[in-house]
Amino acid sequence: MEERVGEIWHNFITRMADKNYPEAEVKLVDIKKTVGVFFRALGGDGALSVLQTDASEYSSERGLLRRIARSTEKYEFAWLDEGALRLPEVIDYFATKTLNKELYLWLAALSSIPKQSADWLLDNQQRTQLALRAYPGLKALYQRLLNAHLSQRPEIDKISKAERAAEVLIVAALKNPGSVSELPPSKYMPRLVLLWLHPSPPVSQTEVAKDLGDSDNQRSGQEKDATDIGKKQAKRVETPEVARGLITIRMENLFTWGEFANMDRSTDDDEDPDNAKDVAKDLDELAIARNQRASKVQMKFDLDLPSEAMDDEILASGILLPEWDWKTQTLIENKCQVVSLVSSHEQDTQLPEHLKATAKKLRNQFQAITPARTWHYAQNDGQEIDMDAYLKYKTDALAGHSDGKVNLYKSLDSGARDLSCLLLADLSLSTDTWVNDDSRVIDVIQDSLYLFAESLKATGDRFGMYGFSSRKTNPIRIHTLKAFDEPYNGQIRSRIADIKPGYYTRMGAGIRHATSLLKNQVAMQQLLLVLTDGKPNDLDQYEGRYGIEDTKQAILSAKALGLKVFCVTIDEKANDYLPNLFGANGYSLVKKVTDLPKMLPMLYARLTI
Amino acid sequence: MNSKNVPFYKPQGNEVELFEHAYNNQLPLLIKGPTGCGKTRFIRHMAAKLDRELYTVACHDDLTAADLVGRHLINEQGTYWCDGPLTRAVREGAICYLDEVVEARKDTTVVLHPLTDDRRILPIERTGETLEAPDEFMLVVSYNPGYQNLLKGMKPSTRQRFTGVSFEFPDKQTEIYVLLAETDVDKATAEKLVSLANAMRALKDHDLEEAASTRLLIYAATLIASGLPIQQACKAAMVEPLTDDKETIDALMEVVNALLG
């Protein structure tokens, strides 16, 4: 009962306090694409995706109601980091949908302009100036937003004296961007400015690197062994706050374990530093990074991996592949090591019962479309004269009964094709997820491989099938399912039957290895089909932009060798990153996962005919 | 042909000199560039300037060697030989231009081989003739490296027979100049249109398959000059032709609004 009353009170008082307009709200998901195109057209980096931001604490002076409603205020600010343009999930600050949408566009426009100054106030003003100068059409938009926003700002006589000066200056800065250089010191931030970007965005890695580069002497103290917990290697670290002094290790600053990973456990924040310390003891390597305000503990575990490695026979190991580091824009030679595997229990295996009917249908269809180059006779146009038809025409004409038919030519149509295709399937642990009650992603991939092989066998095209997974740079596990020179038979089927999910997706390395296999094939056309269920990722820094950029480089070098690269994915978020990797027409998203087995051969047909 | 009939062309770089040198030395030329950047116009310009007849063949995937070289046709009297555009160009010492040559079937390009090395001959198998190309004959092919079917490309052995030049969209100043020369639009509008085109070109490969071409810009400017409001003209000429996706159209219109005001 008490809880219920509390809830009603909370809702009542927050509604009183928030002067927002839920009926006019605009959601990021609905206009994500628009904002993305807009951002990129204005010069934003194409590798960045549009994501929603987290709420950040923002302590400005507040009215009584707001203070009653909440202990702290949180807002969603827009900011740009190395991986994404981050915008609020919902904007409902203004009374009309148009204005709320325009605020999204305005924030995207501001973000498209490079950072002008380290100072929030100057930066936002200068960006505003530049945006308005570069894009005259935004002037009217800015004016509309400004009017709406100014009417929402507190009246000057209703705020405390201490904040008044700041408020006057903020309004001036909004009206005449560039006119205010400094705010008077205050214990609060100025009242929220909706039209500006995040006052103190979480620091990105590149910026940290820059900061560190700027002050080398600060940096030298930070890469330290954590001596109090034994020999631990500390990784890229962060500028410590001057007041705290130089320290060997601060447990509440423990940021990642092993290597950077996206598992946010902020609720576990440094309650008990000893726990973190115990954990740290078990590690090979510690990475420590700067925190904004509340410290966060992020951990990623080397997940319990299936023991599939035991089942496979190692064909070859020690093939070294390079990897692209986008931060230094260099290709690091010999970074990844490939281990080539093949299933060790091979036996004659039949096609699973449930696929037999579909396989038969596909085989027939593919046989029908197998292009054989033949002469088509009695055509009304063609390269050569059809002598038989011509003779008949002439004799008929001489005999006096011409039927007026003029199909006297023959033409040679649909040439035989000279095509090699390599199908590279993602066998990472993420394929272990269930898509419905009966099957996992890996099962769907398995069915797809079967049907793909059945169909391609019917076309007569040369093809190979490989699976890949990885665990950091060593090993990159390449499973040979069917090499190019092997015939498709029961043995191949048993290898397909034997695939298991495991490890991670170092896609760049997978593509590079596949490229090297495929480019040795003698064929006029070489097609590399990548079948995946998600983004490139791995335990180390391969998560996020690093992986995307490396994959992109791998694709570019495959294309430079004349290979055609195409990706088939079942990741619904693929539209965010695949256009950048494979090009707008270089991939296909299969929305209904269970359709994949049937779709894949069809896609192949569409791509190659 | 006098200079008045030479189609307008504003050079982006040294392509005019290059073309002339290639022509004077009987070298074939390969022109690469995105669609609508001025490849065809350039060749028409050069043909007129050099006072040569121009035979243009738009290649497609059913284009056969016979379509280029010629074939026997039939009339009441019997069969007779009909020259294809390539043969005609060789006989007359004209410029033969194969547009989007990668679209043509692979075997088609092979008939070009003896024409594109120092032999400069065109054997016609069906009539037993072997034509020797006069010095005035020139072969020019073009293709768009950005847009390719997954399975189409130019054979290296064919590529290697050509001298090559890459076209890009003209730089800002050149493109403004082109707009002013081609249409009756005023300078301020031309500048806006060009900056809009450049913003939209940043979207190539990510959101758009193809970048907004100079040709589309000229369409937009033409519509504006004939009285259509600028936003509508841009939508019709620069947004709708580039995408069918509703969301992308909306997004591009936001870009148009932001840049044009």
Task: Yes or no: say if B126 and B64 are a contact pair by the CB < 8 Å rule.
Answer: no
Task: Return the domain boundaries, chain B.
Answer: 3-166, 172-260
Handedness of CA A304, A310, A315, A317 (dihedral sign): positive
For the stretch A488-540, pLDDT in tens is: 888 899 999 888 888 888 999 999 999 998 888 777 778 899 998 888 888 88
Most confidently modeled range among A120-134, A237-251, A410-424, B147-161: A120-134
Residue A312 pLDDT grade (very low, low, confident, very high; cuts 50, 70, 90): low
Q: How far apart are CA A22 and CA A12, in angstroms?
A: 15
Q: How far apart are CA B97 and CA B141, in angstroms?
A: 6
In the structure encoding, which two tokens stand for residue A228, read together? Answer: 């109090």
pLDDT at residue B221 in the model = 95
Q: Concatenated DSSP letters for A130-157?
A: HHHHH-TTHHHHHHHHHHHHHHHSPPGG
Most confidently modeled range among A99-113, A158-172, A511-525: A99-113
SS3 A177: coil
Residue A80 pLDDT grade (very low, low, confident, very high; cuts 50, 70, 90): confident
Architecture in CATH of A309-365+417-608: 3-Layer(aba) Sandwich (3.40)
Nearest CA in chain A to B257: A137
Nearest CA in chain B to A106: B258
Contacts of A79 (CB under 8 A, 6+ apart): A53, A86, A111, A197, A198, A201, A202
Quick check: A41 and B257 CB within 8 A? no
Contacts of A383 in chain B (CB under 8 A): 64-67, 71
Q: How far apart are CA B36 and CA B178, in angstroms?
A: 13
Quick check: A43 and B257 CB within 8 A? no
Nearest CA in chain A to B196: A41
Q: How many residues make up chain B in this entry?
A: 261
Contacts of B105 in chain A (CB under 8 A): 415
Task: Return the domain boundaries, chain A.
Answer: 2-175, 205-288, 309-365+417-608, 374-413
pLDDT at residue A211 in the model = 42
Q: Which of B153, B206, B260 sits opposite A40 (nearest CB)?
A: B206
In the structure encoding, which two tokens stand for residue A17, read together? Answer: 């306090």
Shortest CA gap B73–chain A (Å): 8
In the structure encoding, which two tokens stand for residue A384, read together? Answer: 């050569």
Q: How far apart are CA A511 and CA A565, in angstroms?
A: 9
Nearest CA in chain A to B66: A383
Angle at alpha carbon of residue B200, lines to B195 and B205, rounded to 5°: 150
Q: How far apart are CA A591 and CA A263, in angstroms?
A: 27
Q: Which of A138, A411, A584 sits opposite B258 (nearest CB)?
A: A138
Shortest CA gap B217–chain A (Å): 16
Question: Mean pLDDT across chain A, nearest whole number?
Answer: 75
Nearest CA in chain B to A564: B150
Q: How many residues make up chain A in this entry?
A: 609
pLDDT at residue A202 in the model = 67
Q: Which of A33, A41, A525 sits opposite B200 (nearest CB)?
A: A41
Residue A306 pLDDT grade (very low, low, confident, very high; cuts 50, 70, 90): very low
Residue A599 pLDDT grade (very low, low, confident, very high; cuts 50, 70, 90): confident
Find where tokens 């998901």 sit: A29
Whether the per-residue pLDDT at A55 is higher than 80: the answer is: no
**Other Cβ atoms within 10 Å of A395 Cβ, number:** 10
In this structure, are strands A525-532 and A419-426 parallel, antiparallel, or unpaired? parallel
pLDDT at residue A260 in the model = 45
Cis peptide before B11 (omega within 30 of 0): no
Average pLDDT over residues A572-589: 82
Report the DSSP beta bridge partners of residue A567. Answer: A530, A587
Shortest CA gap A602–chain B (Å): 15
Q: How far apart are CA A593 and CA A453, in angstroms?
A: 19
In the structure encoding, which two tokens stand for residue B139, read together? Answer: 């072969």
pLDDT at residue B214 in the model = 94
Nearest CA in chain B to A417: B151
Quick check: B207 and A136 CB within 8 A? no
Quick check: A43 and B202 CB within 8 A? yes
Torsion (CA) B7, B10, B12, B15 in degrees, nearest 10: 40
CA A415: distance to chain centroid? 39
pLDDT at residue B94 in the model = 95
Phi, psi of A317 (to 5 degrees): -140, 165
Q: How far apart are CA A170 and CA B195, in angstroms?
A: 32
Query: For an interface test with B, which of A38, A85, A564 has the most B Cβ atoms less than 10 Å from its Cβ?
Result: A38
For the stretch B42-92, pLDDT in tens is: 999 999 999 999 999 998 877 888 889 998 888 878 788 999 999 999 999
pLDDT at residue A28 in the model = 87
CATH class of B3-166: alpha beta
- The share of chain A scoring above pLDDT 90, in percent, equals 8
**CB burial readout A422-447, b (16+ within 10 A) else e:** bbbbbbbbbbeeebeeeebbbbbbbb
Shortest CA gap B52–chain A (Å): 29
Q: Which of A34, A413, A580 sits opposite B247 (nearest CB)?
A: A34
Contacts of B60 in chain A (CB under 8 A): none
